[in-house]
Amino acid sequence: MAKEQKSRQSARRSKKTAKHRRASSESAPALRERAGAVVAALAEARPARIELEFNNPLELAVATILSAQCTDKRVNEVTRDLFQKYRSAADYAAADPEVFQEEIRSTGFFRNKTRSIVSFAQALLDRHGGTVPDSMERLVELPGIGRKTANVILGSGFGRNEGIVVDTHVKRVSGRLGLSAEEDPEKIERDLMELVPRAEWSDFGLRMVQHGRYTCTARKPRCDGCPLEELCPSAYSFG
Ligand code: SF4
């Protein structure tokens, strides 16, 4: 490695160490201010975009269940045909599990996902006349729907800010940014909801997912050029 490049990296690491010390002793008002700057910088750098393709809340719910442990790209490939065949909760509820499993096989965990989708659709018919409800309380009572999935449906399907999606990306990035020291997704979500204005909850979640996918990746975060570098206590502390 060139001498100049080495010294640049070392300078960045020292800068990071100083920032990390500041972040660990950060006051609540300072954290709130920094979080506001993170929200603004992310909004400037990334569109609030969901990569799953859907036309209505039912399709979004099915796509979100299918997306567990699977890429959105693969889910979209599968749902292009699936959504032509299954158009209502009644269609999913009446699905032959053996056939449905084959139709979604490439998304992985296809037996569990089939059970979840069929039970979800049956519960929609029994309790909500086949319509996806638009409240957190009613969504999380449905089989196959946890708080994370409910947040996706509410934010991107109904445009409602009821919470913040915390998936594996949001969990990792929130920790690195020092916005939450928690491990449990619901506790992380509570921390983020304290720091982020309610009107931004859904968009912020979508942007954090994108940021974790494409910049603040698990193994090799791209700190050089990251739009949050100046605000991040973990910048350049990897590798
Ligand atoms: S990529 Fe680096 S600077 Fe950006 S948020 Fe992640 S750890 Fe921080």
Catalytic residue among 167, 171, 191, 203: 167
Q: Find how far residue 229's CA is from the centre of its chain.
A: 21
93 lines ligand 1 (CB under 6 A): no
Which amino acid is it at 198?
R
Q: What are the C-alpha distances in Å from 227 to residues 44, 66, 199, 211?
A: 9, 31, 22, 10
Catalytic residue among 148, 171, 191, 203: 148
Query: 203, 110, 213: which is closest to 163 by C-alpha?
Result: 203
Count of positions (residues) in the chain? 239
For the chain, domains (ranges, CATH) are: 26-49+164-231 (1.10.1670.10), 57-158 (1.10.340.30)
Residue 186 CA to residue 66 CA, distance in Å, equals 21
Residue 214: pLDDT above 90? yes
Q: What angle do CA 105, 140, 196 make, to 5 degrees?
A: 105
Q: Give the residue-averaged pLDDT of 182-206.
A: 98
Residue 184 CA to residue 175 CA, distance in Å, equals 11
Confidence bin at 12 (pLDDT 50/70/90): low
**Residue 126: exposure state from Cβ atoms within 10 A (0-12, 13-18, ≥19):** exposed
Residue 22: pLDDT above 80? no
Q: pLDDT tens, 68-117? A: 999 999 999 999 999 999 999 999 999 999 999 999 999 999 999 999 99
- Closest atom, ligand 1, to C-alpha of 176: 7
- Closest atom, ligand 1, to C-alpha of 226: 4
> With a threshold of 0.75, does the pTM exceed it?
yes
Q: Give the residue-averaged pLDDT of 163-192.
A: 97
Q: How far is the CA of 134 from the centre of ligand 1 (A)?
A: 34
Q: Give the residue-averaged pLDDT of 182-201.
A: 97
Residue 19: pLDDT above 50? no
C-beta separation of 164 from 144 below 8 A: no
The mean predicted confidence, pLDDT, of the chain is 92
